């Protein structure tokens, strides 16, 4: 009879952490859809007097994290007077969503488009937005709820949207300012984007940044007159828009041509800008507002993002307001959205050992010395989207939310993306191959495409960010010759053929378009 071999050796510090965490973790059942919040009765003790709660996500657009944030905000709004939800989406475009929640008459398709990139089409987030609007429509509510976005414009791929917004404000307050913007900024901004930024001379960027900075100064100096011409609220949005216009231009100017080392300059400018936007929101809403922030773990963590050699919005925010001002909650899972198990040496492997499929863990009561503290002080691989980056759990987060498995959220396709499936014609196999998509976060986003039967499938590989297209095998719906869409993902995929060369473009709900070329054969698992 064969005897089992010896168990694989474990880290004694990890064993100590797991034992301590089992005693302190609070088991949860997420997702939940009911209005009974008894399971969150521990939350006030965790929050204390803090009025800002930052809730991360290990990847975007996931059902579990969106359900958790929706449920948490509803509870805090109803029971503890929280008023404001802030999302990692474009602030300027997001004013339309802010106004919709406040009761403005807006078409839902326009609201979805204003939550830029791929945010505004997930049912779990949309549920929260509609709930906030319904709350505000009830005259018996003691306070209004507010929705803000805090990111830069155009998904940091271009400055066209924010330029148009600031120029429209300028046209209302001072014709000369609008004319100067149209002459000194408009022509270059109309052409500039993340892909072609290297085609512009450094002198052109310097002049453009100087012109954008002058717009900010002119708006600041004319506060009284511009407020009188519009309103205090319009002035506030106009000034912040001008600042974001400068930030987006600066990010494009500084982003390195070599994407293989990441877009770290863009990342740094972006996270500083988000920290400034969050401060702007806090000043608008006041110290008693009660704010829940939703953003990726990498933006909220409290130490630098090593993979991008960049800092984080969370560290900027904590430096300004103090380490104890905001509660920072990171999220983690055992399995990726593709179902992959964790690396044995990563943080998630330890988290998975606790037992519950879903739990909340406050890390702050952990011992300050000894093996538990030693484990928490070590930087080790931590899953971010489908990749890993170094994270020190004890310094990155106040608390952790763990869910063993993850799933993509439920898609609500807006009208402008609702291309109905049609009967496929032509040779679908001509689109087979491996495509490299120029993405937002890195040079390489690999998309494999292959026909099976009469259906075209895609599979995003492990280098994929999981933000542009599904990072797992999924079928495409045929819409027209060369045009497809995913039923589980709200983007349109268009193939373009020039002789033997095949390229592809992916259009997201917020208008961002990503391009790629076929580089070889698909690698199918």
Say which CATH architecture domain 12-31+50-151+270-403 belongs to.
3-Layer(aba) Sandwich (3.40)
Give me the chain's average pLDDT, please.
90
- pLDDT confidence of residue 259: 54
Cα angle 78, 79, 81 (rounded to 5 degrees) comes to 75
Residue 174's φ and ψ, nearest 5 degrees, are -165, 115
Digit-coded pLDDT (tens) for 159-208: 999 999 999 999 999 999 999 999 999 999 999 988 788 889 999 999 99
pLDDT greater than 70 at residue 525: no
pLDDT greater than 80 at residue 504: yes
Return the H-helix or E-strand segment holding 459: strand 455-460
Digit-coded pLDDT (tens) for 338-369: 888 999 999 999 999 999 999 999 999 999 99
- pLDDT confidence of residue 398: 98
Residue 289 CA to residue 283 CA, distance in Å, equals: 10
Confidence grade of residue 115 (pLDDT, cut at 50, 70, 90)? confident
- pLDDT confidence of residue 66: 92
Digit-coded pLDDT (tens) for 222-256: 999 999 999 999 999 999 999 999 999 999 998 77
- pLDDT confidence of residue 6: 42
CATH of the domain spanning 415-520, picked from 1.10.10, 1.10.3470, 3.10.110, 2.40.128: 2.40.128
- Name the strands in the sheet holding 84-90, side by side, starting at the edge strand that comes first in the sequence: 26-27, 358-362, 399-403, 326-332, 52-55, 291-294, 84-90, 146-151
Its pTM stands at 0.93
The whole-number average pLDDT for the span 114-141 is 88
Residue 121 CA to residue 135 CA, distance in Å, equals: 21
**344: exposed, middle or buried (C-beta count within 10 Å: 0-12, 13-18, 19+)?**
exposed
**Every domain of the chain and the residues it spans:** 12-31+50-151+270-403, 155-254, 415-520
For the domain spanning 155-254, the CATH number is 1.20.1440
The whole-number average pLDDT for the span 56-84 is 94
- pLDDT confidence of residue 9: 56
Residue 103's φ and ψ, nearest 5 degrees, are 115, 0
Digit-coded pLDDT (tens) for 17-50: 999 999 999 999 887 888 889 999 999 999 999 9
Digit-coded pLDDT (tens) for 142-165: 899 999 999 999 888 899 999 999
Residue 505 CA to residue 483 CA, distance in Å, equals: 10
Return the H-helix or E-strand segment holding 472: none
Residue 301 CA to residue 297 CA, distance in Å, equals: 6
Residue 403 CA to residue 357 CA, distance in Å, equals: 6
- pLDDT confidence of residue 402: 97
Which structure tokens are listed for 158? 């271009």
Return the sign of the alpha-carbon dihedral for residues 464, 467, 469, 474: positive
- pLDDT confidence of residue 369: 97
Residue 412 CA to residue 324 CA, distance in Å, equals: 38
Digit-coded pLDDT (tens) for 387-424: 899 999 999 999 999 999 999 888 887 777 777 778 88
């Amino acid at each position: 009879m064969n005897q089992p071999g010896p168990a694989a050796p474990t880290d004694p510090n990890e064993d100590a952490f797991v034992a301590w965490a089992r005693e302190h973790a609070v088991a949860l059942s997420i997702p939940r859809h009911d209005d009974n919040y008894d399971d969150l009765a521990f939350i006030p003790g965790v929050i204390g007097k803090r009025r800002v709660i930052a809730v991360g996500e290990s990847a975007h657009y996931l059902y579990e994290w969106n359900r958790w944030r929706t449920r948490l905000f509803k509870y805090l709004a109803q029971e503890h007077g929280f008023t404001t939800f802030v999302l990692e989406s474009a602030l300027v475009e997001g004013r339309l969503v802010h106004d919709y929640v406040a009761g403005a008459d807006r078409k839902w398709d326009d609201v979805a488009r204003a939550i830029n990139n791929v945010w505004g089409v997930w049912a779990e987030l949309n549920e929260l937005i509609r709930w906030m609007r319904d709350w505000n429509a009830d005259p018996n509510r003691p306070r209004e709820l507010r929705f803000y976005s805090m990111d830069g414009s155009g998904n940091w791929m271009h400055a066209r949207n924010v330029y148009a917004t600031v120029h429209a404000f300028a046209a209302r307050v001072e014709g000369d300012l609008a004319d100067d913007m149209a002459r000194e900024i408009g022509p270059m901004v109309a052409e500039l984007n993340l892909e072609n930024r290297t085609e512009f001379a450094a002198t052109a960027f310097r002049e453009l940044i100087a012109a954008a900075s002058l717009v900010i100064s002119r708006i600041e100096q004319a506060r009284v007159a511009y407020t009188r011409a519009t309103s205090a609220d319009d002035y506030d949005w106009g000034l912040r828009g001008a600042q974001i216009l400068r930030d987006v231009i600066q990010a494009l100017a500084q982003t390195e041509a070599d994407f293989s080392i990441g877009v770290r300059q863009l990342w740094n400018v972006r996270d500083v800008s988000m920290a400034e936007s969050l401060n702007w929101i806090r000043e608008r809403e006041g110290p008693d507002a009660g704010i829940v922030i939703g953003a990726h773990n990498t933006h909220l963590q409290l130490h630098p993002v090593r993979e991008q050699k960049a800092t984080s919005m969370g560290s900027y925010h904590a430096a300004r307001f103090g380490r104890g001002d905001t509660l920072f909650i990171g999220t983690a899972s055992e399995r990726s959205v593709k179902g992959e198990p964790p690396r044995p040496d990563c943080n998630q492997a330890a988290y998975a050992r606790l037992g519950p499929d879903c739990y909340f863990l406050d890390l702050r009561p952990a011992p300050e010395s000894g093996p538990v503290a030693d484990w928490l002080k070590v930087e080790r691989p931590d899953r971010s989207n489908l990749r890993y980056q170094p994270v020190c759990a004890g310094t990155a987060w106040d608390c952790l939310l763990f869910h063993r498995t993850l799933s993509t959220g439920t898609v609500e396709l807006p009208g402008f993306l609702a291309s109905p499936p049609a009967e496929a014609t032509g040779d679908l196999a001509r689109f087979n191959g491996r495509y490299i998509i120029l993405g937002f976060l890195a040079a390489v986003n690999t998309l494999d495409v292959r026909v099976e039967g009469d259906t075209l499938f895609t599979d995003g590989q492990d280098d994929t960010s999981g933000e542009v297209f599904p990072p797992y095998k999924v079928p495409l719906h045929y819409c027209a010759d060369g045009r497809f869409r995913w039923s589980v993902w709200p983007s349109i995929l268009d193939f373009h053929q020039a002789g033997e060369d095949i390229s592809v473009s992916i259009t997201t709900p917020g208008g961002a378009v990503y391009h790629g070329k076929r580089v070889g054969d698909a690698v199918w698992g």
